[in-house]
Structure formats: C-alpha cells, structure tokens
Amino acid sequence: MTSSNVLELKKVGRHFLQGERDLVILDGADFTLKAGETVALVAPSGTGKSTLLQIAGLLEHPDEGEVIVSGRACEHLGDMERTAVRRSEIGFVYQFHHLLPEFSALENIMMPQMIAGLSTQEAKERAAQLLDYMRIGHRGEHRPAELSGGEQQRVAIARAVANAPSLLLADEPTGNLDPETAGYVFEALDALVRQSGLSAMIATHNHELASLMDRCVTLQDGKVVAFDLKSHG
C-alpha cells in the first residue's frame, strides 16, 4: 500500500434530479480514513450517509470528485477492476444480514473466500475461526432462518471480513436489533476490527455505540464534518 490512508474522498459530489429540482446529496465532500482507524458516521436518515457509503465502497459513482482506496484512484476504473478492488479491499455490513438462506452460516462465510480463489478446506478453516471469534462457532451448521437476529448479524460481519479487507463499511449494522443485542454485536464488531487492524466507517444512530469509535463525523450541507458526541448527548 502506497498510502497510510485506506480511504480518501476528495471533493465528492452526488445529486439526483427529482422532477425539475436538483437534489444535492453530497457537495464537495472530503473525508480521509487512516489505516487502523475506526470512524462513526452519525447522521439522520435522508442526509446521504448511505449514498456516501455506497460511493466509498465503489458501488455507486459520484458525479464529481475522487475516490481513492488503499492509495489507488478508482474513478476511472472499469467495472471489472472496481469489482476486483471491492473483492480484495472492502467488506460490507448492512442493516439486514443478506445471508443466503439455503446455505449454513459456515458456508455463507466460505463463499466469498472461494470466489477469491481459496480452496474449500482453507475457506472452511477460516470461516470456523471467524465464527469462533464471534462466539457462535457452535452455530456453524445452522441456516440463517435457524439463527437469532444477533447471530445472523454476527455471521454477516464474519462474512464481510472473510477475505481480510483493509476497509470495512457498515450501514446501521445493529439497526434491526434490540438495544441489548445491538450492544453485544457492536462490541464484537469493534473487537474484530481492532484485532485485525481493519479501518472501518460505521453509520449508526446510536451515540453510545458511536462512542466506541476513534472519532465521529456527520453530514452537513452535503459535506463530511466532525461530530461532537458530548454536545449531542
């Protein structure tokens, strides 16, 4: 990696045409995420945080600006190259787990590894290690429908980091869980991120969970700005 920054957004703009109105979501947004750093994105619904995460994760193109992942400028990459960067560098966790229902927890975590070229045995061993780390090793053979909401989300987190990405992006990863379960899942996510040296940007409404991160940012007038939890506590 040529840069100590895992993610850089430079003057990113994104707008949508709504009837005759130009709806500005991001307007010259700048953001830098350093290697090993965890940042909470605390912003109300409708301010553009999901759009920001989609652009940062190369799932959406900005209208203006640059997206740099692990020192590599990604704006002019083709679809196949962007997919390759996502597969090797970026892990995603969403509010809903998006696990494949016909496969076991273990198989769900094995799949991205096998797509990346690992052998079945290597993928199985790493998947089992990740399930153990998330304290649900005993649930590996269960399908998603047989797991609780907290267990499903822990499997989704394990799947997101299965290919050892440098960047983890999470969009309200505990939003569907009750407060107690949310706290437990978030602590497991935080521990996994720090133990593995990942950089993470995690969108959450929960100030208590956000306080576990290194720093907090929000979106204001289409720009990424520092967010002081104490003044909003």
pLDDT tens track for 89-143: 999 988 888 899 999 999 999 999 998 889 999 999 999 999 988 889 999 999 9
The residue among 188, 173, 137 whose CA lies nearest residue 147 is: 137
**What is the identity of the amino acid at 82?**
R
pLDDT in tens, 182-206: 888 888 888 888 888 889 999 988 8
Q: CB burial class (10 A; 0-12, 13-18, 19+) of residue 150?
A: buried
Cα 225 to Cα 19: distance, rounded to the nearest angstrom: 29
How is residue 79 written in tokens?
């679809």
Cα 233 to Cα 102: distance, rounded to the nearest angstrom: 43
DSSP character string of 97-150: ----TTS-HHHHHHHHHHHTT--HHHHHHHHHHHHHHTT-GGGTTS-GGGS-HH
Cα 10 to Cα 224: distance, rounded to the nearest angstrom: 11
**What is the identity of the amino acid at 130?**
L
The residue among 103, 150, 112, 159 whose CA lies nearest residue 131 is: 159
**What is the identity of the amino acid at 39?**
V
Torsion of CA 232, 191, 112, 60, to 10 degrees: 20
Give how far Cα 168 sits from Cα of 5, 128, 139, 160, 227, Å. Answer: 13, 20, 24, 8, 20
The residue among 4, 44, 52, 1 whose CA lies nearest residue 28 is: 52
pTM value is 0.88
- What pairs with residue 199 in β-bridges? 167
Instruction: Flag whether pLDDT at 2 surpasses 60.
Output: no
Q: Identify the pLDDT of residue 66.
A: 94
3-state SS, residue 178 = coil
Q: Identify the pLDDT of residue 233.
A: 55
For each of the domains in the chain, give its residue range(s) and CATH number, in order of start. Answer: 35-62+78-219 (3.40.50.300)
Cα 210 to Cα 170: distance, rounded to the nearest angstrom: 12
For residues 209-214, average pLDDT:
88
How is residue 233 written in tokens?
């506590």
